[in-house]
């Protein structure tokens, strides 16, 4: 087995996965971090992202010959499939989605592929331009609106026109003169109270065959607030999740996918299991839980990048992630004080280390019409032998994290527990003991 302490890994990331570079430094001898910064008028603040982190070297020239000598290139995000393909053509070992990233953000391709592989497709239509979308929303209720570019905003729910009107005005302002060129995927709501998801890894073998990690991760999220996760042997995953994986995986393998893989599946009242969204990158959440729960994540990526599957080693079976928000951080530098003994459990975005503290770099350029208010700046993680242990751990870790105007979404864990109970009522087993939601606030 290769000695990773003699290896160099490069993490190519836009700022949300800097903690992954820090995590990999526990296994690799040298960790380089590249955060794209080039533009016609680059700013010093962008150069600061990822700087000053112990055991992580920030590099400014990705194609520096010394950087290209590295033993592994890790792409935890999407939109760089072409660069990954170029590195592969140079004989480099690459962990990433490659061109299979298209299945995450090209909505029409995704729906077409579902039909090709024999999976049910939830009713949808593509609408071009905000004028046509407004007309449609005026005449219909209870729809979900998706766009291709993640920076344009999350999927949002249209209940009725009076409630969506201001949202549409904000979008028209945002898109300006290109508003009639934007493609929206409009999906009908699915009648269900139950969903299941898979988070884990899919590695295409050297022979082009799909392989799933020995453990997957079954979790419940209160959207953008918190996540409760358990490590589950792949064979013990719900059949609904395994069926989606097994039918869709050959399409990923055609593009030599070797990356984190996630699915969101609605178990509908009409008898169908609808695969709604694919995640072809490190998910967040629960990526921060997984990188701490898996003891050999670096070893897994190193060998997986070459198509070889190594068993994941799990430290503790349950993990919890609580998101951190700060309205102040939206346009200002945010200092976050974290004691050394819990730094492992705090995962910030777009940060550097300076003056002995974590510093979250303001990024006004990514403000969106739907992001007015609090800004997500990171999360806190806790592991445990039981769900209750993991919740206690994350609450204890949260107590030690301090930052101006920082709020910790601990209360939202109540919703995660409620959903776990709901899933178990529908036969989706999660744990032998599931605390009652009210226990979170005790």
Residue 131 sits in the same domain as residue 200: no
pLDDT at 442: 87
pLDDT at 299: 98
Which phi and psi angles does 352 have, rounded to 5°? -135, 175
pLDDT (tens digit per residue) in 337-395? 999 999 999 999 999 998 888 999 987 544 444 443 448 999 999 999 999 999 999 99
List the CATH number of the domain containing 143: 3.30.1490.20
Both structure tokens of 226: 């918190």
- With respect to residue 353, please indicate whether it lies within any of the assigned structural domains: yes
* Helix, strand, coil percentages, rounded to 5, for the chain: 35, 30, 35
Q: Rounded CA gap, 87 and 31, in Å?
A: 18
What's the pTM value of the predicted model, to 2 decimals?
Answer: 0.92
Q: Rounded CA gap, 256 and 352, in Å?
A: 33
Element housing 263 (H / E): strand 258-267
Domains in the chain, number? 3
pLDDT at 21: 98
Residue 161 sits in the same domain as residue 202: no
Query: What is the CA 214 to chain-centroid distance, rounded?
Result: 20
Q: Which domain holds residue 21?
A: 7-99
Please say which residue of 99, 115, 140 terminates a domain: 99
CB-count burial class (<10 Å; 0-12, 13-18, 19+) for 1: exposed
pLDDT at 368: 40
- With respect to residue 113, please indicate whether it lies within any of the assigned structural domains: no
List beta partners, residue 196. 265
List beta partners, residue 265. 196, 275
Residue 143 sits in the same domain as residue 255: no
Q: Rounded CA gap, 358 and 347, in Å?
A: 10
Encode 268-287: b = buried (16+ Cβ within 10 Å), e = exposed. beeeebbbbebbbbbbbbbb
For 250: left if phi > 0, alpha if psi spans -120 to 50, otherwise beta; the answer is: alpha
Per-block mean pLDDT, blocks of 10 residues, the chain (442 long): 92 96 98 94 88 96 97 97 98 98 94 96 94 97 91 89 96 96 94 83 98 96 92 94 97 98 91 93 95 98 98 98 94 93 96 91 56 73 98 97 95 94 85 94 90
Contacts of 167 (CB under 8 A, 6+ apart): 156, 369, 370
Q: Rounded CA gap, 213 and 272, in Å?
A: 26
- With respect to residue 105, please indicate whether it lies within any of the assigned structural domains: no
Residue 183 sits in the same domain as residue 203: no
- With respect to residue 270, please indicate whether it lies within any of the assigned structural domains: yes
Return the SS3 of 20: helix
- With respect to residue 112, please indicate whether it lies within any of the assigned structural domains: no
pLDDT at 429: 87
Q: What is the DSSP letter of 41?
A: S
């Amino acid at each position: 087995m290769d000695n990773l302490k003699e290896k160099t890994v490069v993490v190519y990331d836009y700022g949300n996965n800097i903690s992954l570079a820090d995590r990999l430094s526990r296994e690799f001898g040298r960790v380089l971090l590249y955060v794209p910064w080039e533009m016609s008028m680059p700013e010093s603040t962008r150069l600061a992202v990822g700087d000053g982190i112990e055991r992580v070297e920030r590099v400014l020239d990705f194609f520096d010959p010394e950087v290209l000598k590295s033993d592994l290139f890790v792409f935890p995000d999407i939109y760089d499939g072409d660069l990954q393909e170029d590195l592969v053509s140079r004989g480099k070992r690459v962990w990433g989605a490659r061109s299979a990233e298209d299945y995450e953000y090209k909505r029409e391709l995704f729906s077409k592929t579902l039909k090709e592989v024999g999976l049910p497709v939830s009713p949808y239509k593509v609408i071009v331009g905000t004028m046509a979308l407004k007309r449609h929303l005026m005449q219909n209720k209870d729809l979900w609106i998706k766009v291709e570019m993640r920076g344009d905003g999350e999927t949002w729910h249209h209940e009725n026109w009076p409630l969506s009107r201001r949202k549409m005005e904000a979008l028209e302002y945002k898109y300006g003169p290109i508003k009639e060129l934007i493609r929206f995927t409009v999906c009908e709501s699915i009648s269900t109270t139950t969903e299941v998801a898979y988070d884990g890894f899919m590695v295409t073998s050297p022979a082009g065959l799909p392989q799933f990690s020995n453990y997957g991760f079954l979790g419940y999220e209160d959207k953008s607030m918190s996540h409760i996760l358990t490590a589950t042997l792949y064979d013990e995953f719900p059949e609904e999740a395994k069926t989606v994986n097994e039918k869709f995986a050959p399409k990923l393998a055609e593009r030599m996918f070797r990356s984190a893989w996630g699915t969101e599946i609605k178990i509908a009242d009409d008898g169908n299991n609808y695969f709604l969204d694919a995640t072809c990158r490190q998910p967040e959440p629960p990526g921060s839980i997984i990188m701490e729960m898996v003891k050999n994540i670096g070893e897994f990526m190193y060998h997986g990048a070459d198509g070889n599957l190594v068993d994941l080693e799990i430290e503790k079976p349950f993990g919890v992630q609580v998101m951190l928000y700060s309205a102040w951080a939206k346009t200002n530098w945010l200092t976050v004080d974290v004691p050394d003994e819990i730094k492992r459990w705090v995962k910030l975005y777009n940060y550097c280390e300076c003056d002995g503290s974590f510093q979250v770099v303001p990024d006004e350029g990514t403000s969106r019409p739907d992001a007015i208010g609090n800004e997500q700046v990171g999360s806190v993680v806790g592991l445990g032998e039981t769900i209750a242990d993991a919740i206690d751990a994350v609450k204890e870790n949260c107590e030690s994290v301090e930052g101006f105007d920082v709020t910790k979404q601990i209360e939202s864990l109540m919703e995660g527990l409620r959903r776990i109970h709901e899933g178990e009522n529908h036969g989706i087993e999660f744990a032998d003991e599931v605390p009652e939601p009210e226990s979170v606030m005790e």
